[in-house]
Structure 1
Amino acid sequence: MRVTDTSDLWWKSAVIYCLDIETFHDSDGDGIGDLGGLAERIDYLAELGITCLWLMPFYPSPDRDDGYDLTDFYGVDPRLGTLGQLVEVVRTAHDRGIKVIADLVVNHTSDQHPWFRASRRSTSNRYRDHYVWRDTEPPDTSKLVVFPDREDSIWELDERTGEWYLHNFYKHQPDLNLANPEVVDEVLRTVGFWLELGFDGFRVDGIPFLEQSSKNSGDPALAVDPHELMRTIRAFLNRRSGSAMMLGEVKRSTSRTRSSGPSSAASRPTSCRCSSTSSACRPPTSPSHARTPARSSRPSRSALPSTTPVSGRRSCATTTS
């Protein structure tokens, strides 16, 4: 690729800085980082030389998994600020020449999400098929769990209906049924919503777990090819914003990774949530971070050592070149 080509493929030479709003900077003294604090530090980030800001989940959440347990795909956690303040952050970043991308959580929701709360009311509820259920006792799936110190199966019995629901991560994070066109439509609607608010792309969480097969879902009829799903999202992204970037969390070597589109990037195996062809995790160096403990008492999914003065989690400066 010629250097001149990077002018219309900005992600090819982007320097990406990942941060958690809650642990970045507190503007009102309540001990929790917030959008007001992030807005105050946009100039600091620009001085670092970054060209893209990747925001970890800022959505409403019970916060049992660093915000990856969502209860609303279209909102902002009120502890962090308002939707209006988020738009101000994006606008200010753009003014300083910084693109902004958001974490897109497609695999699951919180068990407190209105869809799941409705789906477990009865087997005939209209939201039942938004999740993956089975009416027969599942086999031993202990070898498939992501967190063997916390879970011993990827299925959990729901006492009310007497059926089991799939959860590749924690039992409080039921997996969405991505074989359901209504669920995929809602995912695309979510992508469109955040694009309209000015975001420049997404980092898709947990792509390997988007695959549904008879092995993990218990039903061949619910099969989902994650590559096809990513191509569907990529095609929608191209229609709405041809310059938008899509990163993917892919825990396999790049030599084995198939592309989901012309501007996607895959990650090398790493314990960090960085998701590109080259990443370097660095402790945040801002002089003023929120004075908050770790988001939860359990180990973070990022499994990084406690080296930061705030929460034991690091921000990531990443390049996709």
Structure 2
Amino acid sequence: MEIRTETPQATDFVRPAPAEQPWERPDPEWYKDAVFYEVLVRAFYDPDNTGSGTLKGLEEKLDYLQWLGVDCLWLPPFYDSPLRDGGYDIRDFRKVLPEFGTVEDFISLVDSAHKRGIRIITDFPINHTSDSHHWFQQSRMDPGGPYGDYYVWSDDPTKYDEARIIFIDTEESNWS
């Protein structure tokens, strides 16, 4: 085995991308042999020393992830959130949490990953929102209005006795 003594260069991590991208040949079972890599954006790479990783930081490390043999990145929620439920309490599905970057940064990450033959899957929990989401606020103000049926409201405190109340300081009930 040869021992390398020089510092690795960025080009040492580059594998040629396949001539045909994986998503260009539909294969419903592609995931069975794929190497998945879950990326917590906040903890992955902080390129600006701000205390939090960013989408741009993740994009900077794509060559390394490709070299590792990663076929698909799995990103837990990175959307705008008050972060009271680990980012799963989304305030706006159309925005990125500012400390992680912008929508444009996400688009750039996806484009760069695709050029390397890497897929991206995002955790997109649309079955619930933050209590600060516009839909929730509108539903709470007017349960009979256009957003009223987006959430289930009940005045019966015993109806969901066993359910964990997540935002006890805001609402003494549960919604979904």
Q: Which category of TM-score, normalised to the shorter sequence, fits these structures?
A: 0.7 to 0.9
Match of 2:122, SS state, is strand
Which one-letter code corresponds to 1:45 in the other structure?
L
Following the alignment from structure 1 to structure 2, what is the Cα–Cα distance between the partners of residues 137 and 32?
A: 40
Following the alignment from structure 2 to structure 1, what is the Cα–Cα distance between the partners of residues 160 and 59?
A: 48
Which one-letter code corresponds to 1:22 in the other structure?
R
Q: Gapped runs of 5+ residues in structure 2?
A: 1-24
Counterpart in the other structure of 1:59? 79
Match of 2:100, SS state, is coil
Which one-letter code corresponds to 1:85 in the other structure?
D
1:141 aligns with 2:155: no
Taking structure 1 as the reference length, what is the TM-score of the superposition? 0.43
How far off its partner does 1:7 sit? 7.4
Counterpart in the other structure of 1:109? 129
Counterpart in the other structure of 1:95? 115
Counterpart in the other structure of 1:20? 40
Following the alignment from structure 2 to structure 1, what is the Cα–Cα distance between the partners of residues 167 and 51?
A: 37
- Of 70, 74, 94, which residue of structure 1 is paired with 2:94? 74
1:121 aligns with 2:122: no
Which one-letter code corresponds to 1:33 in the other structure?
G
Counterpart in the other structure of 1:307? none
| 1:241-256 aligned within 5 A | none
Which one-letter code corresponds to 1:66 in the other structure?
G
How far off its partner does 1:93 sit? 0.8
| 8 Å contact kept, 1:61–1:67 | yes
Q: Deviations over 1:150-207 (max 9, x none)?
A: x4xx897x88xxxx75x3xxxxxx31xxxxxxxxxxxxxxxxxxxxxxxxxxxxxxxx
Which one-letter code corresponds to 2:64 in the other structure?
Y
Counterpart in the other structure of 1:38? 58
Q: Gapped runs of 5+ residues in structure 1?
A: 1-5, 146-150, 168-173, 176-321
Q: Deviations over 1:114-169 (max 9, x none)?
A: 11111111332321211011233324623x43xxxxx4xx897x88xxxx75x3xx
| 8 Å contact kept, 1:34–1:79 | yes
User: RMSD across aligned C-alpha pairs, in angstroms?
Assistant: 2.6
Residue identity over aligned pairs, in percent, reads 44
Which one-letter code corresponds to 2:110 in the other structure?
V
Larger Cα Rg: Structure 1 or Structure 2? 2
Match of 2:96, SS state, is coil
Aligned pair count reads 151
